[in-house]
């Protein structure tokens, strides 16, 4: 594991918001396995208690059922914490277009509450989830920090505001923030259910049920699909980094590009379902056509490697779904 050698002071305590979600629960598990104390804050609106059930009886794990849009909850959760990994947010571009006020309340106000509480409790490092959607209508590939376009959805706007607050809280209040611009993360515990589920678990779930998944558009949309273990590495290395990264946001990906058509073929092949053909539907509003990251800044500034490539990660993810979607 590329993050197993990341060291924090003994008895370090981590707060992971959104800790019962896909990314958050994987961070909880990794930090517990490394021997640290973990406090998970989640209101279970998007996360699932089943994701953290294996940790509940661990004496180094604590679960708080609470909402980051409530400052008192954030204040309480930050007590005695050394590092915050802020993953709590509402995802999905199309859903944000339908309910922008919900995204404002959770993604902007909630993150601001967490930063404010982290300042109050003198947290050492505040690592937070941003998104590749921040690049908006910029046609440039690969995507490079500092060359962003106009955002295309309320979701993307909330992430842009998070980054602006991250810089402000670093510059004015001395909170060491680092933003993680995630590029289409996938892997174990990613939920295949619901209208806004991510594409990989939706494809896998449909094929396991011998159904034809729907592809939005012509299938030539491309993404920099990034396996979950790369995200764990990025968060831990960012949390352990020196102050030179403070106030910045970084691309977290593997630097590849896979079309939805090729993704579908690969998943169908791995599941032995090549005979099932996908259905095609309209493009989704607010979606970026192509996404591919330049990860050189994260590599240079805090030693991120992103060593788990797309095909290796996809095989691992499919193994997990075959075991857990019975």
Four-residue CA torsion sign, 290, 296, 301, 305:
positive
Ramachandran area for residue 222 (φ above 0: left; ψ -120 to 50: alpha; else beta): beta
Phi/psi for 319 (5° steps) reads -55, -40
Tokens of 281: 């539907």
CA distance 322 to 202: 13
- Helix H segments across the chain? 22-33, 49-52, 71-77, 93-98, 100-103, 110-120, 154-171, 199-208, 228-240, 260-270, 296-302, 310-324
Phi and psi of 50, rounded to 5°? -60, -25
- 155 catalytic residue (yes or no): yes
DSSP letter at 313 equals H
User: Is-contact 75 69, C-beta < 8 A?
Assistant: no
- Select which of 36, 128, 155, 304 is catalytic: 155
Cβ burial, residue 238 (10 Å; 0-12/13-18/19+): buried
Dihedral angle sign, alpha carbons of residues 194, 197, 199, 203: negative
Catalytic residues: 155
């Amino acid at each position: 594991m590329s993050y197993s050698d990341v060291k924090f002071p003994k008895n370090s305590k981590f707060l992971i918001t959104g800790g019962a979600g896909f990314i958050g629960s994987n961070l909880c598990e990794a930090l517990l396995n490394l021997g640290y104390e973990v406090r998970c804050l989640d209101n279970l609106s998007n996360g699932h208690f089943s994701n953290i059930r294996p940790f509940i009886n661990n004496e180094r794990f604590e679960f708080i059922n609470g909402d980051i849009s409530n400052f008192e909850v954030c204040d309480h959760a930050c007590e005695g914490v050394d590092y915050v990994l802020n993953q709590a947010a509402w995802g999905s571009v199309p859903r944000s277009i339908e309910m922008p006020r919900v995204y404002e309340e959770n993604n902007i106000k909630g993150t601001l509450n967490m930063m404010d509480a982290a300042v109050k409790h003198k947290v050492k490092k505040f690592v937070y989830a941003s998104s590749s959607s921040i690049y908006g209508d910029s046609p440039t590939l690969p995507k490079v920090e500092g060359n962003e376009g106009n955002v295309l959805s309320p979701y993307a706007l909330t992430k842009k505001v998070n980054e602006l607050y991250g810089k402000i809280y670093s510059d004015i209040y001395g909170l060491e923030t680092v933003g993680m611009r995630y590029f289409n993360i996938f892997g174990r515990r990613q939920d295949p259910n619901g209208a806004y589920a991510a594409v990989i678990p939706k494809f896998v779930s449909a094929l396991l049920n011998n159904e034809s998944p729907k592809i939005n558009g012509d299938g030539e949309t491309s993404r920099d699909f990034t396996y979950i273990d790369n995200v764990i590495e990025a968060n831990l290395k960012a949390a352990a980094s020196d102050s030179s990264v403070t106030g910045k946001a970084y691309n977290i990906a593997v630097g590849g590009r896979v079309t939805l058509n090729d993704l579908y073929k690969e998943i169908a092949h791995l599941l032995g379902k090549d005979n099932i053909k996908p259905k095609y539907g309209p493009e989704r509003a607010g979606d970026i056509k192509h996404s591919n990251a330049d990860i050189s800044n994260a590599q240079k500034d805090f030693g991120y490697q992103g060593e788990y490539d797309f095909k290796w990660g996809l095989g691992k993810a499919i193994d997990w779904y075959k075991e857990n979607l019975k």
